[in-house]
Amino acid sequence: MNDNELKALISLLDDEDPEVVEHVEQRIRQIGGQMIPLLETEWEGSFNSALQKRIEELIHDLQYESVLERMRDWKNGGAMDLLEGLWIVATYQYPDLSLAKLRQDVEQLFYDVWVDFKADMHPDEQIKAMNTAFFSKLKFAPNTKHFHSPANSMINQVLETRRGNPITLCVLYMLIARRLNLPVYGVNLPNLFVLTYKNNGVQFYINVFNRGLVFTTKDIDQYIDQLNIQRLDAFYQPCTNTDIVRRVLRNLTLAFEKNGDTDRVQEVEKIMAAVRDEGDGLPLSDYTQR
């Protein structure tokens, strides 16, 4: 169908016959995302509030289906690019967000750190330098005031405000560290997401939410024992990109639950299912905040 035919189809959304409207909505959903710009134009030119609401719902549904499709493609493609995964999550609320712009912003963070970084430092000194750059120079900090805000799970918002929850702060810290060739990876602890420095027999952990506090395996042992749960390898070793994105999505569902937004909870749960392997049993940490 050409643009004129598509516009004619959209005009029938205002038809008096409910069956015609239902058929038109189904056809628009079948056509997919290419309808969004035309629907937006129709919305802008309409003075009919009922029609505008119908168009808003259609646009939301089409954008949501695009998020689901992108997430499935990302996961099935190997989930190699963590920033892309976080971008897909953010497009749930910011559908026009540019991945290229995100990459540019993260690259600028890397350059801001790189100018003061020396690759031949001892691992402890490398992390001290990272902490100084991340928290003092770049001004990132925990969003303790609005900890349960959905914005904490949106990578673009964390970049803009320099405030986030444990996992989004860890992701940005890790993306910068990896560009500096530091062996830093995410670790799925219950109730808290942290990082590990792991290379050539050297391994320690970094609590980015606590301004880069360094801790050890024994500290994790004590932490798990205090929670009175079984020690799992997953609590000590690097997790996958899909693990990270799932946990970000889990935080987002909890944020919407706090707000009483059940529709969004259900939608985000479907996105989370798109990055879950069939038959997977979720680790305990996938059910927990932070």
Q: What DSSP string runs through 107-158?
A: HHHHHHHHTT--TTS-HHHHHHHHHIIIIIIS--EE--TTTT-GGGG-HHHH
pLDDT digits (tens, 9 = 90+) for 185-240: 999 999 999 999 999 899 999 999 999 999 999 999 999 999 999 999 999 999 99
| Cα(281)–Cα(160) distance, integer angstroms | 35
Percent of the chain whose predicted confidence (pLDDT) is above 90: 70
Mean pLDDT of 238-267: 95
Closest by CA position to 151, among listed 84, 227, 69, 251: 251
Q: Choose from 41-55, 117-131, 273-287 the range with maximum mean pLDDT.
A: 117-131
pLDDT of residue 279: 47
Strands 202-207 and 213-215: antiparallel
Mean pLDDT of 84-99: 97
Mean pLDDT of 14-25: 81
Q: Where are the alpha helices (DSSP H) in the chain?
A: 3-11, 18-31, 36-44, 49-76, 82-90, 99-114, 123-131, 155-161, 166-179, 217-227, 241-258, 262-274
Mean pLDDT of 162-169: 96
Residues with Cβ < 8 Å from 244, sequence gap 6 or more?
82, 85, 167, 171, 186, 193
Q: Indicate the pLDDT class of residue 18, thresholds 50, 70 and 90.
A: confident
Mean pLDDT of 135-162: 94
Question: Do 129 and 191 form a contact (C-beta atoms < 8 A)?
Answer: no
pLDDT of residue 125: 93
Q: Indicate the pLDDT class of residue 30, thresholds 50, 70 and 90.
A: confident
Closest by CA position to 208, among listed 232, 235, 230, 189: 189
How many other C-beta atoms can be found within 10 angstroms of the C-beta atom of residue 251?
25
> Across the chain, what does the average pLDDT equal?
90
| 3 state DSSP class of 24 | helix
